[in-house]
Amino acid sequence: MKRENMRVLILRAPGTNCDLEAIRSFEDLGAKVDLIHTQKVFKDKNLDDYDLLLFPGGFSYGDYVRSGAIWAKECESRIGSELEAFVDSGKPIIGICNGFQQLVEMGYLPGWEGHSLYPEAALGNSTHGYQNRWIRMRYDGKGNCGMMGGLKEGHVIQCPVAHGEGRFILPPEQREDLLNKLYDQDMMVFRYVREDGSYAEYDWPENPNGAYHDIAGICNPEGTVLGLMPHPERAYYGYLMPEWTKTGAPETYGDGYPFFKSIVEYIERKF
């Protein structure tokens, strides 16, 4: 697929606040992007028109029930069958922060046996309350998540987090077995790390929320649905990086650029 023909759909809801950063990142790479509010009924547009679907970060509906829960129910009601068909087609879906929470609530992540009718994991309250600052996450995938195929294993991305409910947890009675399953099926994509690239080992502030096994992002077994708590779209340009005022003129791009570049190149190859 030629990049100029690539179409990305970004959905938003009341409280979404990272949609414009995601749009700017994809458009800078040459993709065409539509932003649609999920309260609007699709008339002339449908999911089949798009090559990638992204649920951005924010605080949809004020997180008044659980983070992402209301937005998840709205999507299931309005576009549930279309969304399931989109996943079944193998087209990629990404959820960042609130979008990750939503994909977990809808049962698309972890998605051990496909789309689950109930959540199989949770993104619980942070052990240190609301966190809005810079962290580092390391790419630990082995190739299953094709969207991240442009990153080498061990690649570290520095970018912000901004959440109060991002602590990835699994059912306690199955925790170790399910963790092994994440590794066996190459679903472990990102983990929180220290400045030297070593795992945070639950230590704060490197692990900002107490996430089990320092998990920052996972994919489904097919590698086509990706969710992560940190915000690479907020680190796309060099002038957004925290050190640029100390190092002189910023580089053209920041740590978030390889993340989005890898996604766009994957769609070019795949479709």
The catalytic site residues sit at 97, 231, 233
Q: Are 147 and 173 in contact (CB under 8 A)?
A: no
Sign of torsion over alpha carbons 169, 75, 85, 55: negative
String of DSSP letters for 44-106: S--GGG-SEEEE--B-GGGGSSSTTHHHHHHHHHHHHHHHHHHHHTT--EEEETHHHHHHHHT
Answer yes or no: are the C-beta atoms of 3 and 269 closer than 8 Å: no
Q: What does the alpha-carbon distance between residue 163 and residue 225 come to, in Å, rounded to a whole number?
A: 21
Give strand pairing partners of 93: 53, 225
CB neighbourhood size of 104 (10 A): 27
DSSP per-residue string spanning 177-226: HHHHHHHHTT-EEEEEB-TTS-B-TT-TTTSSS--GGGEEEEE-TTS-EE
- Token pair in block for residue 91: 């087209």
Q: How far apart are CA 16 and CA 72, in angstroms?
A: 13
